Amino acid sequence: MTVLRKNLIDGEWLGEAGSRNINPSNTNDIVGEYASAGPEQAKQAIAAAKAAFPAWSRSGPLARHAVLKKTSDEIMARKDEIGRSLAREEGKTLAEGVGETIRAAQIFDFFAGETLRLSGEMVPSVRPGVGVEMTREGVGVVGIITPWNFPIAIPAWKVAPALAYGNTIVFKPAELVPESAWTIVDILHRAGLPKGVLNLVMGKGSVVGQAMLDNPDVNAISFTGSVSTGKRVAAASVEHMRKFQLEMGGKNPLVVLDDADLAVAVDCAVNGAYFSTGQRCTASSRLIVADGIHDRFVDAIKERLDKLVIGDALDAKTQIGPVVDQTQLKQDEDYIAIGRQEGAELAFGGDRLERGAPGFYLQPALFVGSTNAMRISREEIFGPVANVIRVKDYDEALAVANDTPFGLTSGICTTSLKHATHFKRNSEAGMVMVNLPTAGVDFHVPFGGRKGSSYGPREQGRYAMEFYTTVKTAYTFAG
């Protein structure tokens, strides 16, 4: 019997079935049925969060610590079960699903610790007898809107700091992957959150998301998703003078210089461009390769791609799972056609694959002979598609790497300390990797980019405080 997962509003599980969660590895497999909230339920959730804010924002650090620590402990204890469910609904491999689940547990553990490290400042005033205190307080009701590509890690790195710093939440996960989101909400609810502090409203973005944008009682919105939707979040937030934080697209470069260790460069490129089926905003979608190593690099990449195992995400042997759904598969295929039309050479892959069950399988694609002016070099594809851009030297590589409307992450493979140091300083990205894949970041340090990739304070680590708190300055005259 198919399980029905309901929305959590003001401490109660509510709603009727509205959508089905389909396994992209096997479209005959129904993961579950999920309630779909309408505008009225979204309004109720916001009202509940508003009502719960005064008490939760003034709760003691031990109360918040207990909830977040219990949540971390349960996620870690159930990592294999939750990771398997994540792989089943999103299509990333079982190993990646478990790894992402562990990361979510680590995030909740980190922010449990942050509740005990809250601090402020006290300084003397320029006026005799006056003391000045600077403290941080929660901003209020936070709307959280998350994407489908990291179904548990991204919700974790938004929900955990929001709760740690005393905010209440209205949470709308992506429709494609509701199970992982429902699971962490269920765990937090059972860990002892007071009613109304965390509200889950699954449903369509055009309905639930819009209701959140239109409501003046939402004091801040943290959004991860497309550039077009991010711009709508920004415009609506300015209308209500609310805080907003945006994580959007990427067209990330991996520079490979002549002096690079070829094996390291190939590992970085294949991992960054193709693992998680290329469905990462940090993916290495532009491989910028110096002339002297270009041919050897391309041959080695093709050899590695030919050996990759593409299959059911739940099969332990699988290295690349399916694309998340039919819409994303079509987008990937459309961009492969565009690349060919623009004159790039499809050197490997790009074909649909048949496996034991019906699913959205795509052979990883590699273009060569591309330029940075092509659409496949300018627009985010969000699939297992990468293109090689040939350059003559480091200076041209840096210029091409920075010639993009995005600026999330970048990477360089080199054995030159001089070039590595210069690249770290001059790459126009929020995160820079040296001899590492562009995808893959730690949970305790800031995440975010520049230009069209990000807006607002960084996510993760202690830097999350900048978004989820507001500063208060208090003066006291002792008399």
Enzyme catalytic residues: 247, 281
d(CA 90, CA 150): 8
Residue 476: CB atoms within 10 A of its CB come to 12
Q: Which sign, positive or negative, has the C-alpha torsion 340, 344, 345, 350?
A: negative
406 contacts 249 by C-beta, under 8 angstroms: yes
Helices (H) and strands (E) in the chain, counts: 15, 23
For residues 382 and 336, what is the distance between their CA atoms, to the nearest angstrom?
A: 12
How far, rounded to the nearest angstrom, does the alpha carbon of residue 425 sit from its chain's CA centroid? 25
Cβ neighbours of residue 417 closer than 8 Å, sequence gap 6 or more = none
Are 210 and 455 in contact by the 8 Å Cβ rule? The answer is: no
DSSP string, 383-440: SSEEEEEEESSHHHHHHHHH-SSEESEEEEE-S-HHHHHHHHHH--SSEEEESS-SS-
Q: In this structure, what is the dihedral angle of CA atoms 440, 445, 449, 454, given to the nearest 10 degrees?
A: 110
Which residue's structure tokens are 């959007």? 248
Quote the distance between the C-alpha of residue 1 and its chain's center: 32
